[in-house]
Chain A
Amino acid sequence: MEKMKVLAEWSYDPAKPFRGYTGKTLKVNVGDMTFESKDVSEDMKFKFTGGRGFGLKLLWDSVKDTTKWNDPENEIVISGGPLCGVTQYPGMGKFYAVFVSPLTDQTYDSNAGGHFGPLLKFAGWDAIEIQGKAQNDVVVVVDADAKKVQILESPFDDVNAYTVTEAIHEYYGDPKDINDRRFVSVVTSGQAAENTFWGCLNSSFWDSHRKTARLKQAGRGGGGTILRDKKIAALVVKTHDLSGTANNPADVDTLTRLGAKLHKEIITLDAKQCRMRTAGTSHLNEIMNEYHLLPTMNYKFGQHPDADKIHSKIYEKMFTQGISDGCWYGCTMACAKAVDGFELKTGPWKGRKITVDGPEYETAASFGPNVGVYDPAWTTETNFYADHYGFDTISAGTGIAFVCECYELGLINKENTNGLELNFGNKDDIMELIHRMASGKDEFARMVGQGVHRMKDLFAEKFGADRNVMERIGMEGQGIEVSEYVPKESVAQWGGFFLTLKGPQHDEAWLIFMDRVNKQLPTFEDKAEALHYFPNFRTWFSLVGLCKLPWNDIEPADNATKYPPQEAARVPEHVQNYVDIFNAVTGQNITKEDLIHQAERVYNFQRVFQLRLGKGTRKFHNIPDRALGPVWADEWEARAEYYDNELKAGGVDPAGLSSQEKCDRLQKIRREQWEKLVDTVYRRRGWDKNGIPTVKKLKELGMDIPEVVAVVEKHAKPEDQWKD
């Protein structure tokens, strides 16, 4: 690779982390080529903790009420959090990216593993803000070894992820030692991010065993689309200042002790529990199918006889075994599985043998049963091109599933699709659509890449497609596509997907088993309590830089017998570990209750942030009919006995009704249940009837920041306040 031309440069003295924080954040404006260091105050730590919290705080300070995703003041803020970079305990290398999303026109947060988050902190920064829009493609480099931040002219004609990432690792690594490339990490996207709103952020790590760069994705929300809109080919961080105590924790002995215990648990129990070390999250494929939760043909069904063809045992054989597959040091869960020597059959790299990161469960489902395909090799190929082209497999899979159903219903035709026959299961034409989406040359593919929310408008306007039908079957909320679980059997999960801050992603609450199978949430109040606790608990992970998987995809051997059922499901020992780790790193003395309070501050702040951007009220907490229950007769008939009983439970005798009439009656019942759920959850969260946090709630949390209160007071109405 040729030497990159320096366009702008700034020197700095890297701050050493102390108790998990460097106390500094970096702002780079690629438009006016400026650099700025900001101090992190104690008040900022108290209110926002770190990670996603820091991202939201910095974004709040940088955008206007009217900012849209492609305005120059929009930012991508990346931050790991105070625990990010710990190597003693598994799952502690995540970063969280925050931005105003092209899909939702409000804030979005998306996380990734890989080494970028930890290396950024060890390069001296608790967060990096990227603002502005460059005129031509650039590479932004934070080089702590050279004590410089640079904006470089990009040499890349091909901006796709693997091309750029491999070249950058080689460029900055010591040519005499290939594994020196591990001190570099790169964030990229790709050409699909230029032509769709589904652009993902790839975060790299050097795999010293395979001698290749691997990619993990902050896939959701369109962060990659913003990266490319800013004409950034790569964000690079480089530092050799890396050790097991680089965070400078207050109590390394506690970290070592807790880590050793969890390592032992994982090593001894994982094979009998979730098999994360050999199958990764693909172990969920057959489980979701068995419980009618595997999205099949645009979420029409939750189960399919061909699902055996995507069983995790098949993926397990495809994944290379016996290699440490952690995406950050010290993660014995090692679920970042990969398919090595995979020969591509289509596209610009046809015939090449490459390493594919994944597929993980979400991709196995989205580019699998959801589009009517049961072919792991085909799914693996889509996984590779999604990463390489830089798009999100969840949104794209759910989006294309919507297109397939529209095609099969006759809402769009072969003329509209420019010759593609987009029936469910038509692998060749769906793959061709993916390549067309990346190239941006095909008008229909460009429409698809704008997401389900906008496709409904575009298909109605351009092709005369029935808007009402599309509203019923389009699996999106707040502008973003639903992730890969069928929610229609769980009232609580309606909230887990559709009463969220940013749209239907499963990182707030996954309550289907608790609600539907365990029957632990019988009342609306129980559901609301779960929809208060779990979204906050999960938010906490995003504040401190953690992966969720070591929390409850492994459990202590005595967890199920030591605690009563409600408590056991939260894996209390692991929750206490997180409290102890936070205290061991930061030197603070929080409790598990404080942990929720930390999260609640940011959760409510983000809700007000959405309000400030013109969203964040009840009307944006919408849910499509398909998420509530069966829409068409064939969905009902696939589980007729089950749904007949649901109807009876709702007080309706199904006798004499046609299947379509039954669907319509159940929809009416469930729509009423949804409204009741919304009311109950809003009350529990301390929000008014319109979904706006009350000033009283903000005061309780210590988040009555004047400009935040001003946003609430501008929008809150007396008639929306609860009477008691």
Chain B
Amino acid sequence: MIVVNGEPMEWKEGMTVRDVINEKRYVFPLLAVWIDNSSVPRDHFATTPVPDGANVQIIHMISGG
């Protein structure tokens, strides 16, 4: 199990950041991702694994307008 933006989500073997984004249907292009408070560059989403138990923050970078 992982936590994404405060909500539990089932973890799968080999899961990447991109997989999480796709499963959540986050299509907004300006996403910023932190795994356990470490940032993940946008061009590494497809290759960065998400470990079981991770706390993932996927921030949509549109705030206030």
Interface residues of A (CB under 8 A from B): 272-275, 286-287, 290-291, 506-507, 509-511, 513-514, 517-520, 522, 530, 533-534, 537-538, 548, 551-552, 555, 559-561, 565, 568-571
Which residues of chain B from 9 to 38 have any CB-CB distance to chain A below 8 Å in the complex? 25-34
CA distance A287 to B25 in the complex (A): 10
Q: Which of A507, A519, A560 has the most CB of B within 10 A?
A: A560
Contacts of A537 in B (CB 8 A): 64
Contacts of A290 in B (CB 8 A): 25, 27
| Interface contact B32-A511, CB-CB below 8 Å | no
- B47 in the interface, Cβ–Cβ < 8 Å? no
The smallest C-beta distance from B34 to any residue of chain A, in angstroms, reads 6
CA distance A571 to B32 in the complex (A): 12
Residue on A with the closest CB to B58?
Answer: A518
- B57 in the interface, Cβ–Cβ < 8 Å? yes
| Interface contact A510-B64, CB-CB below 8 Å | yes
Contacts of A568 in B (CB 8 A): 32, 59, 61
| Contact pick for B61, options A272, A287, A538, A552, CB 8 Å | A552
Contacts of A551 in B (CB 8 A): 65
Contacts of B61 in A (CB 8 A): 552, 555, 559-560, 568-569, 571
Q: Which of A518, A519, A537, A559 has the most CB of B within 10 A?
A: A518
| Interface contact A273-B64, CB-CB below 8 Å | no
Contacts of B26 in A (CB 8 A): 517
CA distance A559 to B62 in the complex (A): 12
Known pairs A548-B65, A560-B30, A571-B61 / 8 extra A-B pairs, C-beta < 8 Å: A510-B63, A518-B5, A534-B64, A552-B61, A565-B59, A569-B59, A569-B62, A569-B63
- Report how many A-B pairs have Cβ atoms within 8 Å: 93
Chain B, interface size category, equals 20 to 34
- B41 in the interface, Cβ–Cβ < 8 Å? yes
Could you list 20 A-B pairs, sorted by A, with CB under 8 Å? A274-B29, A275-B29, A510-B62, A510-B64, A513-B62, A514-B62, A514-B64, A519-B5, A519-B6, A520-B59, A534-B64, A537-B64, A548-B65, A552-B63, A552-B65, A561-B32, A565-B32, A569-B32, A569-B62, A570-B64
* Residues A509 and B28 in contact in the complex (CB < 8 Å), given A561-B39, A568-B59, A569-B59: no
Contacts of B40 in A (CB 8 A): 561
Contacts of A518 in B (CB 8 A): 5, 57-60
| Interface contact B64-A530, CB-CB below 8 Å | yes
The smallest C-beta distance from A111 to any residue of chain B, in angstroms, reads 13
Contacts of B25 in A (CB 8 A): 290
The smallest C-beta distance from A556 to any residue of chain B, in angstroms, reads 11
CA distance A533 to B60 in the complex (A): 18
| Interface contact A534-B30, CB-CB below 8 Å | no
| Contact pick for A509, options B57, B58, B59, B64, CB 8 Å | B64
| Interface contact A570-B63, CB-CB below 8 Å | yes
CA distance A448 to B33 in the complex (A): 46
| Interface contact B41-A533, CB-CB below 8 Å | no
CA distance A203 to B32 in the complex (A): 37
Contacts of B6 in A (CB 8 A): 519, 522
| Contact pick for A274, options B30, B31, B65, CB 8 Å | B30
CA distance A272 to B43 in the complex (A): 10
Contacts of B65 in A (CB 8 A): 506-507, 509-510, 534, 538, 548, 551-552
